[in-house]
């Protein structure tokens, strides 16, 4: 069988029910030279059903004239028994009796033979009826195996794909075949800001609980908007809109999905605080472009996913986000039309891109979605009575550079600060900060921030958003009443 279904090998199994030993011996001798046929004989019709349940015959030969039970009554019992109700039944009689024959057929018999039949005829009828029954058994077994496989696929992939997408895969005869196609779709990448640092401070079991709580909430929203979850990468989610099913509103749905995900973070953090975990913040990048999409992998392990430079570009766009932010590419903006609330726009030069691109911060979407984030007001920063000395390194991806720079935190409010530094750092670059108190004693070297504004190049002044604040720094800032 195809589709990876392995069926049980069935042998032809004959059960003869007849009270006359001579009949039993005659049929046995007829079949003894047939290597593919197993023969069983039951002289006691009362025990016939029990015997049939034990050996699972592919055909039953039954005498119609027996002293202990009427043959037609036994036909009824055989058809009433769940294990034999579909087994082919050949009734045997000493003579042609049209009325009895008709009644036997009406009760469910499949064939009628007059004793003693010719050997060739007996074998031919046994093979004919058994073949049909074995085909039925194999179809039923294949169906059950397919149902089990489909239930497994639904249980496994249903956690990441919508029911509609799972149905498409299951209903397509080539749904699980390796291969892909080039297609224009919308890619979403999410990541928890500063979660690597949080994970290093917490027990492993707590890190897993935080991630699972986050992913459970976000997965429901992605599926609600008919997205396909390509992969969980630690605390990150890669989702696609437009595959396997392409729709006209893929880009719009992806943005609406991202907005609802950011709104849902409030409830995620409520649960985190309730469990004694730190609050977390998510950044989301969205891009629309050509990718190769399909079943990728080997015969041993296959996943439905996407590859291509536009996947990498989505990751780059997401890396520019701060917590609570959604950034989209110009192609996604164009695909959405004029239904977006654009809160900001900026020109960036991601790695692997030949020329600068525009990216846009999204605060809402109109149309049928009507989802909006609260508008952001520029935070007024408090002037510190005494600047805080810092040292910092520029991050390249997840890795800190070797060069160490110095500066001071001059103004601050909550997670926003103004820095005076000895170097100009480009907007949207991440930095890792060592924070010192008024006596130049190190508070922490695990304070992370993203440059959100270059206030001045001469002298260098930067506005930053802290993306990961360790407890030592948090307590210190609270002590300063910031």
Q: Are residues 127 and 233 in the same domain?
A: no
Q: Are residues 210 and 106 in the same domain?
A: no
Q: Are residues 249 and 227 in the same domain?
A: yes
Specify the CATH number for the domain of residue 106.
Answer: 3.40.50.2300
Q: In what order do the strands lie in the sheet with 37-42?
A: 37-42, 12-17, 59-63, 89-93, 111-114
User: Is pLDDT above 70 for 239?
Assistant: yes
Question: Would you say the C-alpha torsion 171, 177, 183, 189 has a positive or negative sign?
Answer: positive
Q: Are residues 303 and 365 in the same domain?
A: yes
Question: Would you say the C-alpha torsion 23, 29, 30, 35 has a positive or negative sign?
Answer: positive
Residue 146 placed within a domain: no
pLDDT, averaged across the chain: 87
pLDDT band of residue 185 (cuts 50, 70, 90) is very high
Report the pLDDT value the prediction gives residue 2, as an integer from 0 to 100: 45
Answer with the one of 320, 347, 372 that is the final residue of a domain.
Answer: 372
Q: Are residues 195 and 314 in the same domain?
A: yes
Lowest mean pLDDT among 103-112, 144-153, 216-225: 144-153
Contact status, residue 390 vs residue 408, Cβ threshold 8 Å: yes
Contact status, residue 348 vs residue 356, Cβ threshold 8 Å: yes
Structure tokens at 196: 């690597």
Q: Are residues 195 and 329 in the same domain?
A: yes
The DSSP call for residue 302 is E
Q: Is 414 left (phi over 0), alpha (psi -120 to 50) or beta?
A: left
Which range is most confident: 131-135, 254-258, 466-470? Answer: 254-258
Kindly report the pTM of this predicted structure. Answer: 0.66
pLDDT digits (tens, 9 = 90+) for 18-37: 999 999 999 999 999 999 99
CA pair distance 96, 74, nearest whole angstrom: 19
Report the pLDDT value the prediction gives residue 264, as an integer from 0 to 100: 97
CA pair distance 226, 242, nearest whole angstrom: 9
User: Is pLDDT above 70 for 141?
Assistant: yes
**Which domain, by its residues, includes 447?**
382-479
Specify the CATH number for the domain of residue 393.
Answer: 2.40.10.220
Q: Are residues 466 and 411 in the same domain?
A: yes
User: Is pLDDT above 70 for 319?
Assistant: yes
Q: Say how many domains are in the chain.
A: 3
Higher pLDDT, 166 or 225: 225
User: Is pLDDT above 60 for 88?
Assistant: yes
User: Is pLDDT above 50 for 218?
Assistant: yes
Answer with the one of 84, 114, 140 that is the final residue of a domain.
Answer: 140
Cα–chain center distance at 400: 34
Answer with the one of 304, 337, 372 that is the final residue of a domain.
Answer: 372
Residues 6+ apart with CB under 8 A from 378: none
Q: What percent of the chain has pLDDT over 70?
A: 89
pLDDT digits (tens, 9 = 90+) for 383-441: 998 999 999 999 876 667 788 999 999 999 888 999 999 999 998 899 999 999 888 89
Three-state secondary structure of 54-123: HHCCCEEEEECCCCCCCHHHHHHHHHHCCCCCCCCEEEEECCCCHHHHHHHHHHCCCEEEECCCCHHHHH
Specify the CATH number for the domain of residue 251.
Answer: 3.30.70.1230
Taking residues 188-202, report their average pLDDT: 86
Residue 270 placed within a domain: yes
Taking residues 289-293, report their average pLDDT: 91
Lowest mean pLDDT among 110-124, 256-270, 388-402: 388-402
Report the pLDDT value the prediction gives residue 315, as an integer from 0 to 100: 93
CA pair distance 207, 462, nearest whole angstrom: 32
């Amino acid at each position: 069988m195809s589709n990876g279904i392995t069926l049980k090998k069935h042998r032809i199994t004959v059960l003869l029910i007849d009270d006359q030993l001579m009949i039993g011996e005659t049929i046995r001798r007829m079949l003894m030279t047939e290597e593919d046929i197993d023969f069983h004989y039951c002289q006691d019709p009362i025990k016939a059903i029990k015997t049939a349940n034990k050996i699972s015959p592919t055909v039953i030969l039954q005498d119609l004239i027996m002293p202990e039970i009427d043959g037609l009554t036994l036909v009824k019992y055989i058809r009433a028994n769940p294990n034999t109700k579909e087994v082919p039944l050949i009734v045997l009689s000493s003579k042609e009796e049209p009325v009895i024959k008709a009644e036997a057929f009406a009760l469910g018999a499949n064939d009628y033979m007059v004793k003693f039949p010719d050997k060739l005829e007996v074998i031919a009828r046994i093979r004919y009826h058994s073949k049909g029954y074995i085909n039925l058994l194999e179809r039923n077994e294949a169906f059950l195996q397919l149902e089990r496989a489909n239930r497994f696929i639904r249980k496994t992939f249903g956690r990441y794909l919508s029911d509609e997408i799972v149905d498409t895969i299951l209903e397509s005869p080539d749904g699980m075949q390796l291969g892909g196609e080039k297609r224009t779709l919308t890619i979403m990448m999410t990541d928890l800001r500063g979660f690597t640092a949080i994970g290093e401070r917490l027990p492993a079991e707590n890190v897993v609980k935080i991630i699972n709580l986050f992913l459970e909430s976000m997965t429901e929203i992605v599926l609600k908007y008919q997205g396909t979850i390509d992969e969980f990468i630690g605390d990150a989610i890669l989702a696609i809109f437009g595959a396997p099913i392409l729709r006209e509103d893929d880009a719009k749905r992806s943005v609406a999905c991202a907005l609802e995900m950011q709104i849902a973070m409030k409830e995620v953090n409520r649960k985190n605080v309730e469990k004694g975990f730190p609050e977390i913040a998510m950044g989301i990048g969205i891009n629309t472009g050509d990718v190769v999409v399909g079943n990728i992998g080997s015969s041993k392990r296959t996943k439905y996913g996407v590859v291509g430079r536009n996947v990498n570009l989505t990751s780059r766009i997401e890396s520019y986000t701060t917590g609570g932010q959604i950034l989209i590419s110009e192609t996604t903006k164009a695909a959405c039309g004029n239904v977006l609330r654009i809160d900001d726009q900026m020109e960036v030069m991601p790695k692997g891109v030949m020329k600068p691109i525009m990216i846009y911060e999204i605060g809402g979407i109109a149309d049928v979605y009507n989802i909006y984030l609260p508008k952001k007001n520029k935070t007024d920063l408090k002037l510190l009575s005494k600047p805080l000395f810092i040292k910092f390194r520029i991050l390249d991806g997840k890795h800190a550079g070797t060069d160490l720079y110095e500066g001071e935190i001059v103004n601050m409010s909550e997670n926003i600060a103004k820095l005076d530094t000895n170097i100009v750092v480009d907007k949207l670059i991440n930095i890792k900060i060592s924070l010192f108190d008024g006596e130049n004693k190190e508070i922490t070297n695990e304070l992370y921030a993203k440059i959100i504004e270059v206030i001045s190049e001469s002298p260098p002044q930067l506005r930053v958003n802290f993306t990961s604040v360790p407890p030592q720094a948090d307590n210190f800032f609270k002590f300063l009443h910031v």
